[in-house]
C-alpha cells in the first residue's frame, strides 16, 4: 500500500467521524458511537491476538511483555486527561471551553500509534506488510468513533462550525505525523528497538479494546446489536490474514 494512500485513509477516517456528527440527528449520535466503538473494540482485540502479538514474538524475544504493560499504563494516564473519550465517554456541558487537555491527550496517543506504522514502511518483508495492513485498519476503525465523540464535544463549545472542523483536521494529521516521525526515526534515535514502540501501542490498544467491550454492556446485559458489532469486528480482523 502506497504511503499517500495510508495518509489519505488515516485522515479520511477522522473526516468521516466528523461528517457523521454533522449529518446525523443528535438522537442517533449516541447509538452510532456505541456501535462503532463496539465494532472497533472487537477488531482491535482480534488483531492484537491474531496478528500483532504473534508478529512481536516471532523473533523469539520474550522481553516485550513489560512494554505492553507500559503501553497499558500510558493509555491509563492519557485517559485521565482525555476523560475516556477513546472509548466513548463524552462529557458535554453547554457552551464549554475548548478541551485542550483532551485534545493534547488524544494527539499524543495518535502520534505514538503512527510511529511503528511509519518506521516499518520502508524495506519491509511480506510478513511485515501484513502487520502494517492490520495495524493501519485497526487505527482507522478506531479513529472514526473517536472523531465522532470529539466532534460531538466540539459542537457544544463556543466555537463556530468552521473552527470545529479546523480542530478536527488538526487532530486528523496527528497519526500521519506519527507515521512521518517513524519513517525518519532509527533505533539509535531513542535507544530502543522500534518493535518496543509497537509493543507499547499493543498495550494501549489492549486497554482501549477491553474497556470498550466491558463497557458495551448496559445493566450487565449485552445489547444484541452491540454484540453483533463486536463479533463483526472480530470476524473481519480474522479474515485480514
pLDDT tens digits for range 143-202: 998 898 888 888 888 888 889 999 999 999 999 999 998 888 765 555 667 788 899 999
Start-to-end CA span in the chain (Å): 15
| Mean per-residue pLDDT over the chain, rounded | 82
Distance CA 130, CA 23 (A): 35
Is 230 exposed, middle or buried (CB count within 10 Å of its CB: 0-12, 13-18, 19+)? Answer: buried
Give 30 or 63, the one with higher predicted confidence. 63
pLDDT tens digits for range 200-216: 999 999 999 988 887 75
Q: Which three cell numbers, joined as nine digits, stand for 179?
A: 507515521
Amino acid at each position: 500500500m502506497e504511503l499517500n494512500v495510508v495518509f489519505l485513509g488515516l485522515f479520511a477516517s477522522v473526516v468521516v467521524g466528523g461528517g457523521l456528527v454533522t449529518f446525523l440527528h443528535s438522537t442517533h449520535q449516541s447509538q452510532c458511537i456505541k456501535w462503532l466503538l463496539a465494532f472497533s473494540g472487537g477488531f482491535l482485540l482480534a488483531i492484537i491476538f491474531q496478528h500483532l502479538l504473534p508478529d512481536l514474538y516471532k523473533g523469539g524475544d520474550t522481553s516485550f511483555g513489560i512494554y505492553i504493560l507500559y503501553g497499558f499504563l500510558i493509555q491509563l494516564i492519557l485517559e485521565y486527561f482525555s476523560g475516556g473519550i477513546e472509548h466513548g465517554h463524552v462529557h458535554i456541558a453547554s457552551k464549554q471551553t475548548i478541551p485542550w487537555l483532551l485534545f493534547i491527550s488524544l494527539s499524543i496517543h495518535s502520534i505514538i500509534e503512527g510511529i511503528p506504522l511509519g518506521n516499518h514502511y520502508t524495506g519491509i518483508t511480506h510478513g511485515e506488510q501484513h502487520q502494517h495492513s492490520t495495524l493501519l485498519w485497526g487505527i482507522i476503525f478506531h479513529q472514526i468513533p473517536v472523531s465522532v465523540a470529539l466532534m460531538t464535544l466540539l459542537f457544544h463549545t463556543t466555537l463556530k462550525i468552521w473552527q470545529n472542523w479546523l480542530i478536527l483536521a488538526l487532530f486528523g494529521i496527528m497519526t500521519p505525523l506519527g507515521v512521518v516521525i517513524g519513517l525518519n526515526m532509527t533505533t539509535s534515535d531513542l535507544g530502543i528497538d522500534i518493535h518496543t514502540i509497537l509493543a507499547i501501542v499493543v498495550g494501549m490498544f489492549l486497554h482501549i479494546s477491553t474497556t470498550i467491550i466491558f463497557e458495551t454492556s448496559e445493566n450487565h446485559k449485552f445489547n444484541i446489536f452491540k454484540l453483533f458489532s463486536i463479533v463483526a469486528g472480530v470476524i473481519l480482523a480474522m479474515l485480514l490474514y
